[in-house]
Amino acid sequence: MEFNHKPVMLKEIVDGLNIKPNGIYVDATLGGAGHSREIVSRLHENGILIGIDKDKTAIEVSRKRLKDAKCKVILVHDDFRNIKQILNSFNITKVDGIIADLGVSSYQIDEAERGFSYNKDARLDMRMDRSSSLDAEKVVNTYPEKDLVKILFEYGEERYARQIVKNIVNARKIKPIKTTLELRKIIEDSVPSFELFKGGSVAKKTFQALRIEVNKELEALDSLLSVMIDLLNKKGRICIITFHSLEDRLVKNKFNLESRDCICDKSFPICVCHHKKSLKLITKKPIMPGSIEINLNSRSSSSKLRIAEKI
């Protein structure tokens, strides 16, 4: 299968970077180089693009797609949570822009064997990095019941988490749950029948929660947010596309926190925190895809883009 993935809000995110022709830019979620191809088209010979992805296939495909770039291109098979160490390994301490598109690529969803889709029968996998030892099958069959409930509540915001997990635990006592459709059937049998006719699969939230756990997605995002200010040059920008409320909340809260001088409790008569703002919000409200893009790419419908600039 060809690595096809439509980059979400391509113009908005690349324009939002405010690219300097000789600047250094990081695509923390390289994918099929959809955003990166547009970035390198705006860079001159002295510019640098660093692309990071946990999926080796993404690196291989992007290497071919970016081979004619005028600028220097560095592609790294790694998790963007390690962005600081990655840059240090190339003697780069500051960059002019960082982008992160936190969605799962269409290629990963559509390639049945990867186990991301609840519509295709496959082994429960969901690893973006196939060298990782943790996959969805291991999570579903070995995690304690209370931990599974917490994952479904927190990462999937699944209201029926307790019943779903109870049925998972009962099923795995008889035999291990091995495939995506086995798990989907358990989920469908765990929710009230009226939920099955609301439109969309009732398995969506559970599959999302498991994917986040397998790939430690929120931990990776938190790591990126914690080092972004140190890594950006003055007037450097960070652009992040999120696809669900958990991610967006993390980005929104961090951007808001770092764009304020004082973060003391409002009841304090004077400031005692001495916090100084380090970011300027370029988007006070998130940018959403337009109706034309959503019609062309329905998977973009839940995306939100937030942009901030280092002061």
List, for residues 274-300, the tens digit of each pLDDT value: 889 999 999 999 999 999 999 999 889
User: Six-digit token pair at 272?
Assistant: 């005692």
Q: What is the structure's pLDDT at 60?
A: 95
In this structure, are residues 251 and 55 in contact, taking their beta carbons and an 8 Å threshold? no
Whether residues 162 and 288 fall in one domain: no
User: Six-digit token pair at 246?
Assistant: 């958990």
Q: Is residue 1 part of a domain?
A: no
Q: What is the structure's pLDDT at 2?
A: 53
Q: What is the structure's pLDDT at 5?
A: 63
Q: Max CA-CA distance within the chain? A: 62
Q: What is the structure's pLDDT at 275?
A: 84
d(CA 241, CA 17): 13
Whether residues 103 and 221 fall in one domain: yes
What's the one-letter identity of residue 271?
C
Whether residues 279 and 302 fall in one domain: yes
Whether residues 230 and 209 fall in one domain: no
Please choose, from the candidates 49, 46, 65, the residue with its C-alpha nearest in 3D space to the C-alpha of residue 3: 65
Q: Exposed, middle or buried: residue 19 (CB in 10 Å: 0-12, 13-18, 19+)?
A: buried
Q: Structural domain of residue 225, as residue ranges?
A: 10-107+217-310
What is the per-residue pLDDT across 8-43, written as a single tens digit (0 to 9) for each? 999 999 999 999 999 999 999 999 999 999 999 999
Q: What is the structure's pLDDT at 69?
A: 97
Ranges of the chain with pLDDT below 70 = 1-5, 106-107, 110
CATH number of residue 21's parent domain: 3.40.50.150
Last residue of a domain, one of 173, 195, 215: 215
CATH number of residue 143's parent domain: 1.10.150.170
Q: Give the angle 232-236-242 at the CA atoms, nearest 5°.
A: 85
In this structure, are residues 80 and 28 in contact, taking their beta carbons and an 8 Å threshold? yes
CB environment 254-265: b (16+ within 10 A), e (fewer)? bbeebbeeeeee
User: Six-digit token pair at 274?
Assistant: 């001495």
Whether residues 282 and 158 fall in one domain: no
What's the one-letter identity of residue 127?
R
